[in-house]
């Protein structure tokens, strides 16, 4: 009997450990419920939001101050509301042009301030990008691709035993991408005992920053499901370097206004991201040269800057037939130059003097919306509304520009993150759409 009770107790503890409430280990919880279930309204239509506040799961009363403004464009409305039984309603008005309104809530309780925000959209399907395609956009990039093609593919490859498992083989590769000997590193994952001509390939570019390749095995399920996957960095830094070294390099070379996304932005030929965009094609050259490639399927997958680079790769390289994107950065970057318009990460409006005519001209050659116009690959895109890094306004600008077969997974509550389940589901989506 005691053994049975112990087993039951262990089972309860295990269930409790695996069933944490959202948000993770927080004493308090905001709940915001727009009166349209999809959080979307037509322009000119009024939006109402019920707010709820709980501490220890108990509704709490008190005064909530709130501000309202257009997506990342500051506050234009302020007010207060009183919670009764932990609940209240706010009428946030409307928006006359397509876009998003952001409501920021603050509750003071027990000597602390608790904040939360929620964005709702108004006819976002009508959002169009500010950024226009330069007349010589295709010529510029084709010329660069032609130059890249003149450089023979080469790379080094060494076993990375620390990331090999009973189902996965892993190699560290170093890939030159220009005559200036610029390169990228990556971890190349194979299914154990990979067979010639049997495996689709997936390129995974990174999010923004100067950092190592984080937790290389976190997406090992790609190789376990028969994919060859290349996860890269973009700065030519060996991912085996200590974190402290990456931190030192980032502080030295990635601090505003000298960060890599501003480096050389006054000239389209010298801009830092030029070799990064071309590196994507060179990585696909490597993947499609592997004898184990199935000869048909090339997927790209990434989030934030990685999502931007996935779309760039799909726009530049017609070998890509599947494209998976989370909340893409580098989208409609010059949008802020039009009054009342939201722009995309890296939010150059926050950096004094960045919006010069030459810089804006360069941005257009590197803006993701102009690559989205070229994408023919079947595309799966995910974004959330509460994202303040890659705002929903610019995600819709990309989505509405895509003129390919496409599917979306919209997760309104998400900020700048995707869940493990969503990311695994993207692998499942790719597998389902293989040719």
Q: Which residues belong to the active site? A: 304, 387, 416
Assigned token pair, 88? 């209240």
Instruction: List Cβ neighbours of 169 (8 Å cut-off, separation of 6 or more).
Output: 159, 189, 190, 191, 192, 194, 223
**H-helix or E-strand spanning residue 298:** strand 293-303
CA dist., res. 57 & res. 246, Å (int): 42
Smallest CA-to-CA distance from 208 within 54, 331, 377, 51 is with 331
Phi and psi at residue 188, to the nearest 5°: -105, 115
Q: Is residue 173 within 8 Å of 286, Cβ to Cβ?
A: yes
CA dist., res. 209 & res. 135, Å (int): 31
Assigned token pair, 336? 């802020």
Q: Is residue 190 within 8 Å of 213, Cβ to Cβ?
A: no
State the burial class of residue 96 (Cβ atoms within 10 Å of its Cβ: 0-12, 13-18, 19+). exposed
Give Cα separations from 91 to 45, 68, 101, 340, 374 (angstroms): 11, 10, 12, 21, 41
Chain Cα centroid distance, residue 117: 20
Give Cα separations from 312 to 139, 186, 274, 297, 427 (angstroms): 16, 18, 11, 17, 20
Assigned token pair, 211? 């950092």
CA dist., res. 101 & res. 120, Å (int): 6
Q: Is residue 330 within 8 Å of 308, Cβ to Cβ?
A: yes
Smallest CA-to-CA distance from 334 within 321, 324, 347, 315 is with 347
CA dist., res. 225 & res. 85, Å (int): 50
What is the distance between the terminal CA atoms of the chain, rounded to a whole angstrom? 57
Assigned token pair, 289? 């040269």
Q: Which residues pair with 30 in a beta bridge?
A: 53
């Amino acid at each position: 009997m005691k053994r049975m009770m112990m087993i039951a107790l262990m089972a309860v503890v295990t269930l409790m450990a695996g069933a944490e409430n959202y948000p993770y280990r927080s004493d308090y919880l905001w709940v915001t419920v727009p009166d349209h279930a999809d959080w979307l309204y037509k322009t000119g239509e009024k939006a109402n939001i019920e707010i709820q506040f709980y501490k220890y799961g108990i509704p709490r009363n008190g005064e909530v101050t709130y501000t309202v403004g257009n997506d990342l464009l500051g506050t234009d409305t302020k007010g207060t509301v009183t919670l009764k039984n932990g609940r209240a309603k706010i009428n946030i008005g409307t928006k006359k042009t397509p876009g998003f309104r952001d409501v920021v809530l603050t509750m003071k309780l027990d000597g602390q301030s608790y904040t939360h925000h929620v964005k709702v959209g108004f006819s976002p399907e009508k959002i169009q990008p500010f950024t226009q395609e330069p007349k010589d956009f295709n010529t510029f990039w084709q010329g660069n691709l032609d130059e890249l093609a003149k450089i023979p593919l080469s790379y080094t490859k060494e076993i990375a035993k620390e990331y090999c498992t009973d189902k996965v083989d892993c190699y560290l590769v170093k890939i030159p991408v220009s005559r200036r000997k610029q390169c990228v590193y990556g971890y190349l994952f194979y299914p154990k005992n990979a067979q010639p001509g049997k495996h689709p390939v997936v390129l995974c570019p990174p999010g923004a920053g100067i950092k190592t390749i984080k937790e290389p095995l976190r997406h090992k399920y790609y190789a376990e499901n028969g994919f060859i996957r290349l996860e890269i960095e973009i700065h030519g830094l060996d991912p085996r370097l200590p974190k402290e070294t990456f931190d030192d390099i980032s502080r030295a070379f990635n601090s505003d206004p000298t960060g890599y996304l501003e480096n050389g932005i006054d000239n389209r030929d010298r801009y830092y991201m030029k070799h990064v965009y071309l590196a994507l094609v060179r990585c696909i050259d490597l993947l499609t040269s592997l004898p184990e490639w199935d000869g048909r399927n090339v997927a790209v997958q990434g989030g934030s800057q990685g999502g931007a680079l996935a779309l760039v790769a799909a726009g530049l390289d017609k070998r890509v037939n599947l494209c998976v994107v989370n909340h893409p950065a580098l989208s409609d970057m010059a949008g802020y130059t039009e009054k009342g318009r939201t722009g995309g990460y890296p939010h150059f409006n926050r950096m004094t003097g960045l919006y010069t005519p030459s810089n804006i001209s360069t941005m257009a050659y590197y803006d993701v919306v102009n690559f989205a116009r070229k994408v023919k690959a079947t595309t799966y895109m995910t974004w959330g509304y509460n994202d303040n890094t890659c705002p929903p306004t610019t995600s819709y600008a990309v989505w509405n520009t895509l003129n390919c077969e496409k599917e979306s997974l919209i997760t309104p509550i998400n900020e700048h993150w995707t869940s493990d389940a969503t990311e695994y589901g993207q692998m499942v989506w790719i597998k389902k759409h293989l040719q």
